[in-house]
A and B are shown apart, each in its own frame.
Chain A
Amino acid sequence: MIQETAPALTLDTRQHMLKRMLEIRLSEERIQGLFLENLVRGTTHLCVGQEACSVGVAAVLQPGDSVTCTYRGHGHALAMGMSMKALMAEMMGKASGACKGKGGSMHMTDATIGLLGANAIVGGQIPIAVGAALTAQIKKTGAIAVTFFGDGATNIGAFHESLNLAAVWKLPVLFICENNLYGEYSMWDKTTPIQNLADRAIGYGMPGIIVDGQDAERVYNDVKALADRARAGEGPALIELKTYRFRGHSRTDQAPYRVKGELEQWMQRDPITILKDRMIAAGQLDETEYEELRGSIDRAVHEVVEWAKAEPFPAIESLYQDIYYEG
């Protein structure tokens, strides 16, 4: 099922989005394998199936914008242009990782691209983006802040407090809910009494829109409109991206709680396939080129993983560094 209602983006943007989504997909699949090899520890949360959300939003961002995101954040980081080497090395706790091995899967951070950090506390990242938007407003930079969170986070206090504060101060921040239908192991309708989470925007006097989160172009277009509005000083917005995670909540979750047939139905709406098919229909891509692209990214991911495996762990002294700034 391909929706042709989204206004077409330029070929460059489409190619960029397709490439990024493939990078995310193939990295995530490789990360799952790294668990089985015991090279990634603790837990991780894959965003397979949700790639259009991060890629569509990232394409809207400009230099100087800030993002906070969730522990399902590898996709956000890669979509924003974080180095895959830094990501993979961080996954394995290596010194050359994005956070020098101190963060891990749930804390991908790259200040140089405005990624202020993925967060392991549900909703904890939301107020931080409000603060980044405050800086943009006071310094009149024209930048926006974006915060990603899941459907589960819309039931935590930080979400409500942040929307209210951002609205009262008319801050340039976009609250982006990736509603993947499950808050950890619980289906959203067991924990949330309304059909559309975007409706919560009404209570905070801001626009709330629902977007097909499987369609990167639609995500881009709808988010862009509200980003432009925020840059113009007209305040925050809540955007609900309807999406689905093709994997469980975290590494050990086989997702037995899924409604039968639901996964198969959503896999018919794979965000990569949607964009790929659209590009093929427009004569911008053929199957051979697609397979070549996919193959080259797969090889690149493989090379990065092998590189990261060979990287050294941090020196023990680094444990004692950066607790405080000591300049």
Chain B
Amino acid sequence: MPKMTYRDAVTKALGDALREDSNVVFFGEDVAVAGGVFKVTPGLYDEFGGDRVRDTPISEEAFIGAALGAAITGLRPVAELMFADFVPVAMDQIVNQIAKYRYMSGGQFTVPLTIRAAQGAGAGFGTQHSQCVESWLMNIPGIMIAVPGTVADAYGLLRSAISENNPVIVLEHKVLYNISEEIEDGALKPVPLGKAAIRRTGKDVTIVATQLVMHRSLEAAEILAKEGIDAEVIDLRTMMPLDENAILESIAKTHRLVVVEEAPHAGGWGANIASLAADKGIYWLDAPVKRVNMGGVLVAYSPPLEDEVVPKASKIAQVVRDLMKE
């Protein structure tokens, strides 16, 4: 079977969406002629032309707001924010405009727009280019948030986001752009928003994670398997809407929950999962809920420092090991 990278899957999703619906337009900084700083969008400008695939000035607030204006007047825009760390530059448009436009107008508009951005640490980009931002965005009713962690999801969640009649922010993980999977021809298809995936079934402990730390959780599960601990790994795939049932069904089976986040502890999305478990799953739990995350630490540039900050497989495994003793 041919191998495809996460990067290629994103490119293909954009191309397929542009090809299938003439209302889809795509713009962002350096995405057209140059093909994107992460080389995710080559060829789109050549195929679809400068009317539908556009380079923008470095003006995140303007072009994210323009995406809203385009969405409510008949287009289906996809805007790329490049690094997810630039989300706050456009935050007024995201929080006060995009998320609220349908609601505060009494339902007069649908807002079919997608914002893409690359997030995460591990590529040496330093403190202002390495953050995961979904936790900032989860406090905003009115938007949806997808966090693809696999090649198939990089394609499928983006396709669903673009065809969704609500605003969706798709946060790709920049360290995952180079991962590859064997994909059969025609096997890529839209992945529904709001459905988690069980990446490894297990009976002893549930590990909930996303993206890079989801892969590290799978590594941790293999380490633990050798020790006789059978971990289930759930990939959330979508942060909003959150697949609560997938989490609850898993802890009903395993009775233990570990949440692994690439995010600071305070206000991190893992707290939502812990809250869900406390609220609706407490009687199934045999041990406290554990969160593995970045604590109160920032991402640093130097390789050993950056390597330390995102939860590693060994650290995740140790937390699980300790939890099994409770």
A-B contact pairs, 21 of them (CB 8 A): A99-B105, A100-B106, A109-B108, A121-B92, A124-B92, A124-B97, A127-B65, A127-B66, A128-B66, A128-B69, A130-B66, A131-B67, A131-B68, A131-B77, A134-B75, A138-B51, A138-B75, A158-B93, A161-B62, A162-B62, A165-B62
- For residue B248, which residues in chain A have a CB less than 8 angstroms away from its CB? none
A98 an interface residue at 8 Å Cβ cutoff?
yes
A282 to chain B, nearest CB (A): 39
Which one of B9-17, B53-61, B170-178, B214-222 is at the A interface?
Answer: B53-61
Alpha-carbon distance between A129 and B71 when the two chains are bound, in angstroms: 11
**B63, B70, B105: which has the most chain A beta carbons within 10 Å?**
B105
Q: Does A18 contact B (CB under 8 A)?
A: no
Residue of B nearest to A327 (CB): B165
Q: Is B120 among interface residues, defined by CB-CB distance under 8 A? A: no
Q: Please give me the residue from chain B that is nearest to A138 by CB atom.
A: B51
Within 8 A of A (CB), among B289-310: none
Asked if A68 CB lies within 8 Å of chain B CBs, one says yes
Known: A134-B66, A164-B59. 6 other contacts (CB 8 A): A127-B68, A138-B75, A161-B62, A162-B65, A169-B54, A323-B142
Number of B residues whose C-beta is below 8 Å from A?
43
A150 at the interface (CB under 8 A from B): no
Compute how far the CA of A282 lies from the CA of B64 in the bound complex, rounded to whole angstroms: 49
Interface string of B121-156 (1 = CB under 8 A from A): 000000000000000000001101000000000000
Instruction: Indicate if A38 sits at the interface (CB-CB under 8 A).
Output: no
Q: Which residues of B contact A121 (CB under 8 A)?
A: 92, 96-97
Per the 8 Å Cβ criterion, residues 99-145 of A in contact with B are 99-103, 107, 109-111, 116-117, 119-121, 124, 126-139, 145
Q: How many residues of A contact B (CB 8 A)?
A: 48
B77 lies within 8 A of A322 (CB):
no
Tell me the nearest residue of chain A to B69, going by C-beta: A131
A121 to chain B: closest residue by CB: B96
Interface status of B45 (Cβ within 8 A of chain A) = no
* Interface residues as binary, B72-113 with A (CB distance below 8 Å gives 1, 0 otherwise): 111101000000000000001100110001111111111100
- The interface residues of chain B lying within 8 Å CB-to-CB of A322 are 102-103, 106-107
Q: Does B250 contact A (CB under 8 A)?
A: no
> Are A165 and B56 in contact, with the CB atoms below 8 A?
yes
- Complex Cα gap A161–B66 (Å): 11
Residues of B near A110 (CB, < 8 A) are 108
> CB-CB contacts of B204-219 with A at 8 A, as 1s and 0s?
0000000000000000
Contact of B254 with A by CB under 8 A: no
A54 to B27, CA, bound (A): 32
CA distance A110 to B131 in the complex (A): 39
Given the known A-B contacts A98-B106, A165-B63, are A117 and B69 also in contact in the complex, defined by CB atoms under 8 Å? Answer: no
Cα separation A162 to B93 with both chains bound (whole Å): 12
B73 interface neighbour in A116, A127, A169, Cβ under 8 Å: A116
A133 and B103 contact, Cβ closer than 8 Å, known pairs A111-B109, A158-B62, A164-B59? no
Would A157 and B70 count as touching, CB distance under 8 A?
Answer: no
Query: A101 to B105, alpha carbons, bound, how many Å?
Result: 9
- With a cutoff of 8 Å between Cβ atoms, the chain A residues found around residue B103 in the complex are 102, 322-323
Taken residue by residue from 294 to 327, chain A's Cβ proximity to chain B (1 for < 8 Å, 0 otherwise) reads as 0000000000000000000000000001111101
Q: Indicate whether A324 sits within 8 Å of B166 (C-beta atoms), given known contacts A135-B69, A138-B51.
A: yes
A120 to B103, CA, bound (A): 14
- Chain A proximity mask over B28-58: 1 for CB below 8 Å, otherwise 0: 0000000000000000000000011010110
Which residues does chain B contribute within 8 Å of A134, judged by CB atoms? 25, 66, 69-70, 75
Asked whether A135 lies within 8 Å of B70 as measured between CB atoms, the reply is: yes
Q: How far is the CA of A163 from the CA of B145 in the complex (A)?
A: 30
Separation of A28 and B318 alpha carbons in the complex (Å): 67
Within 8 A of B (CB), among A138-196: 138-139, 145, 157-158, 161-162, 164-165, 168-169
| Cα distance A117–B108 in the bound complex, in angstroms | 10
Is A127 within 8 A of B166, CB to CB? no
Q: Are A324 and B142 in contact (CB under 8 A)?
A: yes
Beta-carbon contact of A138 and B106 below 8 Å:
no
| Measured CA separation A323–B25 after assembly (Å) | 25
Q: CB of A50 within 8 A of chain B?
A: no
| B69 engages A102 (CB within 8 Å) | no
A122 to chain B, nearest CB (A): 10
Encode contact with B along A46-73: 1 for CB under 8 Å, 0 otherwise. 0000000000000000000010100000
In the complex, chain A residues whose CB is within 8 Å of the CB of B77: 131
Check B69–A130 contact: CB distance below 8 A. Answer: yes
Nearest Cβ in chain B — how far from A263, in angstroms? 33
Contact of B106 among A97, A145, A168 (CB under 8 A): A97
**In this complex, what residue of B is CB-closest to A86?**
B106
Bound-state Cα–Cα, A110 to B105, Å: 8
A157 in contact with B61 (CB, 8 Å): yes
- Whether A135 contacts B75 by the Cβ 8 Å rule is yes
Instruction: Check B105 against A127 for contact (C-beta < 8 Å).
Output: no
Pick from B71, B75, B107 the residue with the most CB of A within 10 Å.
Answer: B107
- Which of B64, B69, B92, B144 is the one whose CB lies under 8 Å from A132? B69
Residues of A within 8 A of B105 (CB): 99, 102-103, 107, 109, 111, 117
Taking each of B66, B110, B111, which has the highest tally of chain A beta carbons within 10 Å of its own beta carbon? B66
Residues of A within 8 Å of B108, CB to CB, are 99, 109-111
Q: Which 5 A-B pairs have the closest CB atoms?
A: A131-B69, A127-B65, A100-B106, A161-B62, A131-B66
Residues of chain B contacted by A68 (CB below 8 angstroms): 69
CB distance from A143 to the nearest CB of B (A): 9
Residue in B63, B68, B69, B111 whose CB lies within 8 Å of A133: B69
- List, in ascending order, chain B residues with CB within 8 A of A98's CB: 106
Q: A101 near B70 (CB under 8 angstroms)?
A: no
On chain B, the residues within 8 Å of A157 by CB distance are 61
Contact (Cβ within 8 A) B71 A99: no
Q: Nearest Cβ distance between residue B66 and chain A, in whole angstroms?
A: 4
Q: Which residues from A are CB-within-8-Å of B61?
A: 127, 157-158, 161
